[in-house]
Chains A and B, each alone.
Chain A
Amino acid sequence: MDSFNNLIEGFATALTPTHLALAALGVLLGTAIGVLPGIGPAMAVALLLPVTYGLEPTGAFIMFAGIYYGGMFGGSTTSILLNTPGESAAVVAAIDGNPMARKGRGAQALAAAAIGHFVGGIIGTTLLVLLAPTVAKFAVDIGAPDFFAIMVLAFIAVTSVLGASRVRGFASLLIGLTIGLVGLDEMTGQQRLTFGSLHLADGIDVVVVAVALFAVGESLWVAAHLRRKPASPIPVGRPWLHKADLKRAWKPWLRGPMIGFPFGAVPAGGAEIPTFLSYVTEKRLSKHRDEFGKGAIEGVAGPEATASASAAGTLVSMLTLGLPTTAVAAVMLAAFQQYGIQPGPLLFERESALVWGLIASLFIGLCLLLVLNLPLAPVWAKLLRIPRPYLYAGILFFASVGAYAVNADVFDLLVMFVIGVLGFVMRRYGLPVLPAIIAVILGPAAEQQMRRALQLSDGSLTGLFNTPFALVVYAIVAILLFWPLIRRLFRKPAPPTEPSPQVERPKVDA
C-alpha cells in the first residue's frame, strides 16, 4: 500500500489552493489551445511550455497535467464539430462524431467524448498508479546496455511502425540525431557541430526544436496552401446524454482503456492504432452495426476512452524509463529536462513528492475537465470560427515568445526559423516529424548509454549485448526491421494474374 500512501500525499500537494488554481488554468488553456483548428496536443503543449517557466517544478507539472488532458480533449471537439481532426488520435472520433453532429446530435457526441475521456483517463491513471512503481523498481536494475537497447527500439519502432515510407522515417530520424549532436560532447567536452559559435556550444534547446518543427513548420506549410474558405463548424448546445445513449456508451467507455493503456506504454504505440482497434471492436460487438459511419455513439465513446487511457499509458514509460512514445510525451520530457529533472527509474525515489503530486493532479485535472468542459462546450465551439490569419499569426507569435523565453537570446529565434523551414520541407515531402523530435531528445542519452556500456566492457562490442533483456529487445528490433522481408517469405506465391512488374516495381519501402 506504499503507492496508496504516496498518492494520498500527492493529493495533499495537489489540493493546495495555488496548485488547484494552476491545474484549472492548465485545463482551460489546454482545452482552448487544443480546440483551435490546426493545433494538436503536441503543439498545444509545446506552445504553452513557456507559461510554466516562472513556476517551481511541482506547480509547473501540475499545470502541465491539466494542459495535457485539456489538449487531448480539445482535439476531439475539433474532430466532431469540424470533421477535420487536428491530430492522429482524434481521426477515429471524426468517423462517427461528425455525422452525429450533422444529424443534430453534436451535444451527445461531445458528451460521449468528454465522459469517455474522463473514464479512460481515470482507469488509465489508476493503472499508472498501480504499475509505475513496480516498473520503476524493475528498471532500477537495468543497466546501460539495456537502456541503449530500449532507445534503439524506440528509434526503430517510431520509424518503422508509423507512416508508410520507412526511408522517409529514417531520414527524419537522422535529421533529429544530427540536431541532437550539436553542442559539447558530455563526456569529453569536445565541441561538435558548433562551428566555433558560443551560442551553439550549449546545444540546441529541445523546446526550440519542438516549437520550430510543430508550430513554425506547420504555419509556413499552411500558409503555402491556405484554404481560402475554411470549413464551417456545426453549432452545438450544452452536451448531455439520453438514457438510451448512456446504455449504449458505458460498455465502450470501459472497454476502450483496456486497449488503449497497453498500447500507450510501448514505444511507437501512440493513440493511432489503439483508437482504430477500439473502433473496430465496438463495431463488431454493437447491436447497431449498420449505424457505424453514420453516427453511432459507440464509435465516439470507445475510441475517445481509448485515446485518454493511452495517454496515461504513455506516462508509464515516460516517467519510469525516460522514454517518450508520443510527440506529447517527448515535449513533456523536454519540460522535465528544463528543470534539470531526468525521468527514469530513480525519479520515483528522488522526486517522490513531485511525481505523486503530478499523478494526483492528473486525477484532479480529469475531474476539472469534466466539470468545466461540459458546460463550456458551446464557448469552445465558438473558437472554431477564429479567422485563420489571426490563428496562424498567433501561433507564430507564441512560438516566438516560447523560443525567446528559453534563454532570452535572439539567436534561438534564428535557429527556430531554420528548423521551422526544415519542418516545412518535411511536411511538403512526407517526412514524418515524430522520429525527428524523438531523436533530438533521446539521441544524446542513447549515445551516453552506449559509450558507458562500452566503457564497462573495455571497448568490446559484446558489452552491448551481454544481458538477456538487451538481447530480447534487439530481437524485437530485428523483427521490426526485417518485417517486410519476413512478410514476403510467408506470403503465398503470386498468381499469374498479378499486376505487371512495371506497376509493382516502384516499391514504397526502400
Chain B
Amino acid sequence: MHKAVNEPVDEPGNKPLSRAWLRERSELGVSAILVGLGVLVLVDAIRIHTDFAQRGPVGPKAVPIVVGVGLIVVAALLARDVLRGGRGEAEGGEDVDLTAPADWRTVLLLCGAFLANAALIGVVGFPISGAILFWGAAYALGSRNFVRDPLIAAGLSVVTFLLFNNLLGVPLPGGPLVGMF
C-alpha cells in the first residue's frame, strides 16, 4: 500500500533549504536521481549514430529520448508533490518496524558482506565466499553465536555448491580448495 501522507510539515523555524527542511523533504533526492538518470539517457541517446544501418523510419534514438524526457518530467512532478506536502509511504512488512529510526550500521555491514562475496568468489571459490557472505550477513543482522553461525554458513555454502554444481548442472566456481581434493 503506497499512500502519500498529508500532514502539516511546515513547523515554525524550518527555513527553506535548512538542514531540518531538507531532512523533512529527503524525497527530493528521488527527484534528483530521476533527473540524473534522465540526463544520462538523453546524452547517451544523442550520441547514437543513426546515419547507417537504420531499418524503418524510427531509429534506436526515439525511445531513449521519450524515456529520458519522461524521467525529467516525472522528476519535476514528484518534486512538486513533495514541496506541496505529499510523501511516499515507506513500505511496511512483517519484520519491518517503521517506528525505529533507520539503522545504517546494519545496512552498511550487510552491503559489505554482499560485496565481499562478489570480490572473493573468483579468488577463493564459492564454498568459501558464500560462507563469508552468509556469516557476515547474519552477523550484520545481529546474530552473535560464534559457534553455530559459522557452522551453518559453511554447511549451507558447501551443500549449495554440491547441489548446484554437481546435481543440478549449474556451475559455480569451486576455487583452490575443491581443486585439492
Q: Which residues of A contact B (CB under 8 A)?
A: 37-38, 50-51, 53-55, 78, 82, 84-86, 163-165, 167-168, 170-171, 174-175, 177-178, 181, 185, 187-193, 195, 216, 218-228, 230-231, 387-394, 396-398, 400-401, 404-405, 408, 410, 413-414, 417, 420-421, 424-425, 427-432, 447, 450-452, 454-455, 458-459, 503, 505-508, 510
Contact = CB atoms under 8 A, between A and B. Distances in A.
A54 to B, nearest CB: 3
B134 A397 contact: yes
Question: What is the predominant secondary structure among interface residues of chain A facing chain B?
Answer: helix
A167 B156 CA distance: 43
Contacts of B71: 174-175, 178
Given A37-B95, A190-B50, A397-B130, 4 more contacts: A224-B104, A408-B173, A506-B6, A507-B84
A432 B141 contact: no
Contacts of A219: 110, 137
B103 interface: yes
Contacts of B115: 417
Interface residues of B, number: 92
Interface of B: 1-4, 6, 27, 29-30, 33-34, 37, 40-41, 44-45, 48-50, 53-60, 62-64, 67, 70-71, 74-75, 77-78, 80-81, 84-91, 93-98, 100, 102-104, 106-107, 110-111, 113-115, 117-118, 121-122, 126, 130, 133-143, 152-153, 156-157, 160, 164, 168-173
Contacts of B94: 37-38, 78, 82, 84-86, 230-231
A175 B37 contact: yes
24 contacts: A50-B170, A164-B4, A165-B4, A167-B81, A171-B30, A177-B70, A193-B40, A218-B93, A219-B137, A222-B95, A223-B103, A224-B104, A226-B141, A389-B137, A390-B152, A396-B110, A401-B160, A405-B170, A408-B173, A455-B56, A507-B84, A508-B3, A508-B81, A508-B86
B30 A425 contact: yes
A205 to B, nearest CB: 14
Contacts of A177: 67, 70
Contact of A414 (B53, B104, B118, B143): B118
Contacts of A55: 168-169
Contacts of A222: 93, 95-96
Contacts of A223: 103, 106-107, 110, 140-141
Nearest to A406: B170
A230 B56 CA distance: 58
A101 to B, nearest CB: 15
A193 B41 contact: yes
A350 to B, nearest CB: 25
Contacts, number: 288
Q: Which of A55, A174, A459, A507 has the most CB of B within 10 A?
A: A174
Nearest to A450: B58
A190 B48 CA distance: 7
B3 A164 contact: yes
Contact of B137 (A190, A396, A410, A451): A396
B125 to A, nearest CB: 12
B63 A181 contact: yes
A410 B133 CA distance: 14
A394 B107 CA distance: 16
B60 A510 contact: no
A272 to B, nearest CB: 10
A37 to B, nearest CB: 5
A228 B130 CA distance: 25
Given A37-B94, A226-B106, A396-B110, A190 B86 contact: no
Given A188-B55, A508-B4, A225 B100 contact: yes
Contacts of A171: 30, 34, 74-75, 78
Q: Which of B71, B95, B97 has the most CB of A within 10 A?
A: B95
Contacts of B97: 225-228
B147 to A, nearest CB: 14
B86 A389 contact: no
Contacts of B53: 188-190
